[in-house]
Amino acid sequence: MILVDPESPTPPYEQVRSQYAALIASGELPAGTRLPTVRGLAADLGLAANTIARAYRELETGGLVETRGRGGTVVSARGDEARSAAVDAARTYAAKVASLGISQADALGIVRAAIDG
Protein backbone atom coordinates (compact mmCIF):
# COMPACT_ATOMS: atom_id res chain seq x y z
CA MET A 1 0.00 0.00 0.00
CA ILE A 2 2.94 2.35 0.68
CA LEU A 3 5.41 2.84 -2.17
CA VAL A 4 8.66 4.77 -2.25
CA ASP A 5 10.09 6.14 -5.49
CA PRO A 6 13.89 6.22 -5.19
CA GLU A 7 14.04 8.61 -8.17
CA SER A 8 11.78 11.18 -6.54
CA PRO A 9 13.30 14.42 -5.21
CA THR A 10 11.00 14.01 -2.19
CA PRO A 11 12.84 12.36 0.72
CA PRO A 12 11.71 8.78 1.44
CA TYR A 13 10.44 9.64 4.95
CA GLU A 14 8.20 12.33 3.45
CA GLN A 15 6.90 9.95 0.81
CA VAL A 16 5.92 7.50 3.55
CA ARG A 17 4.47 10.23 5.77
CA SER A 18 2.40 11.83 3.03
CA GLN A 19 1.00 8.52 1.82
CA TYR A 20 -0.08 7.54 5.32
CA ALA A 21 -1.51 11.01 5.91
CA ALA A 22 -3.56 10.70 2.72
CA LEU A 23 -4.82 7.24 3.69
CA ILE A 24 -5.82 8.51 7.12
CA ALA A 25 -7.47 11.65 5.71
CA SER A 26 -9.47 9.62 3.18
CA GLY A 27 -10.72 7.26 5.89
CA GLU A 28 -9.04 4.23 4.32
CA LEU A 29 -7.13 3.89 7.60
CA PRO A 30 -9.71 4.59 10.32
CA ALA A 31 -8.94 5.41 13.93
CA GLY A 32 -7.47 2.45 15.77
CA THR A 33 -5.83 0.92 12.71
CA ARG A 34 -2.40 -0.39 13.63
CA LEU A 35 0.47 0.59 11.34
CA PRO A 36 3.25 -1.88 10.52
CA THR A 37 6.21 -1.91 12.87
CA VAL A 38 9.04 0.45 12.02
CA ARG A 39 11.41 -2.44 11.33
CA GLY A 40 8.85 -4.40 9.36
CA LEU A 41 7.93 -1.52 7.07
CA ALA A 42 11.58 -0.56 6.67
CA ALA A 43 12.39 -4.11 5.57
CA ASP A 44 9.40 -4.23 3.20
CA LEU A 45 10.39 -0.93 1.56
CA GLY A 46 14.14 -1.49 1.65
CA LEU A 47 14.70 1.61 3.79
CA ALA A 48 16.53 2.28 7.03
CA ALA A 49 14.48 1.92 10.19
CA ASN A 50 15.35 5.52 11.10
CA THR A 51 13.64 6.70 7.90
CA ILE A 52 10.38 5.02 8.87
CA ALA A 53 10.76 6.17 12.48
CA ARG A 54 11.02 9.77 11.27
CA ALA A 55 7.88 9.38 9.12
CA TYR A 56 6.00 7.97 12.11
CA ARG A 57 7.27 10.80 14.37
CA GLU A 58 6.04 13.37 11.84
CA LEU A 59 2.64 11.67 11.72
CA GLU A 60 2.51 11.65 15.52
CA THR A 61 3.47 15.32 15.71
CA GLY A 62 0.62 16.04 13.31
CA GLY A 63 -1.81 14.19 15.58
CA LEU A 64 -2.56 11.53 12.97
CA VAL A 65 -1.10 8.57 14.86
CA GLU A 66 -0.12 7.73 18.40
CA THR A 67 2.49 5.34 19.68
CA ARG A 68 1.34 2.96 22.37
CA GLY A 69 4.63 1.40 23.38
CA ARG A 70 4.33 -2.35 22.94
CA GLY A 71 0.90 -1.74 21.39
CA GLY A 72 2.56 -0.22 18.36
CA THR A 73 1.62 2.81 16.32
CA VAL A 74 -2.08 3.29 15.62
CA VAL A 75 -4.19 5.82 13.78
CA SER A 76 -5.35 8.37 16.31
CA ALA A 77 -8.94 9.38 16.85
CA ARG A 78 -7.49 12.90 16.95
CA GLY A 79 -6.70 12.40 13.27
CA ASP A 80 -10.44 12.30 12.60
CA GLU A 81 -10.87 15.52 14.56
CA ALA A 82 -7.94 17.12 12.75
CA ARG A 83 -9.36 16.09 9.39
CA SER A 84 -12.75 17.54 10.30
CA ALA A 85 -11.14 20.82 11.37
CA ALA A 86 -9.10 20.91 8.15
CA VAL A 87 -12.22 20.34 6.04
CA ASP A 88 -13.97 23.18 7.86
CA ALA A 89 -10.98 25.48 7.31
CA ALA A 90 -10.82 24.52 3.63
CA ARG A 91 -14.50 25.32 3.15
CA THR A 92 -14.07 28.69 4.82
CA TYR A 93 -11.03 29.42 2.65
CA ALA A 94 -12.83 28.31 -0.52
CA ALA A 95 -15.77 30.59 0.22
CA LYS A 96 -13.45 33.54 0.95
CA VAL A 97 -11.36 33.20 -2.22
CA ALA A 98 -14.53 32.76 -4.29
CA SER A 99 -15.92 35.99 -2.85
CA LEU A 100 -12.65 37.72 -3.77
CA GLY A 101 -12.85 36.43 -7.34
CA ILE A 102 -9.63 34.40 -7.06
CA SER A 103 -9.42 31.48 -9.48
CA GLN A 104 -9.22 27.91 -8.25
CA ALA A 105 -5.70 27.54 -9.67
CA ASP A 106 -4.51 30.69 -7.89
CA ALA A 107 -6.21 29.64 -4.65
CA LEU A 108 -4.50 26.25 -4.75
CA GLY A 109 -1.18 27.93 -5.50
CA ILE A 110 -1.63 30.14 -2.45
CA VAL A 111 -2.31 27.09 -0.28
CA ARG A 112 0.74 25.26 -1.64
CA ALA A 113 2.92 28.28 -0.94
CA ALA A 114 1.55 28.54 2.59
CA ILE A 115 2.16 24.84 3.27
CA ASP A 116 5.67 25.00 1.85
CA GLY A 117 6.35 27.87 4.19
Residues 18 and 67 in one domain: yes
Q: CA 89 to CA 70: how far, in whole Å?
A: 35
Residues 25 and 45 in one domain: yes
pTM: 0.69
The reply to whether 4 falls in a domain is: no
Name the residue among 2, 115, 109, 106 with its Cα closest to residue 52: 2
| 79-113 pLDDT tens trace | 667 767 777 888 899 999 999 999 999 999 999 89
> Within the chain, which residues score under 70 in pLDDT?
79-80, 83
The reply to whether 2 falls in a domain is: no
Structural domain that includes position 111 = 80-116
Residues 72 and 84 in one domain: no
Residues 27 and 53 in one domain: yes
The reply to whether 26 falls in a domain is: yes
Residues 67 and 108 in one domain: no
Q: What pLDDT does residue 7 have?
A: 96
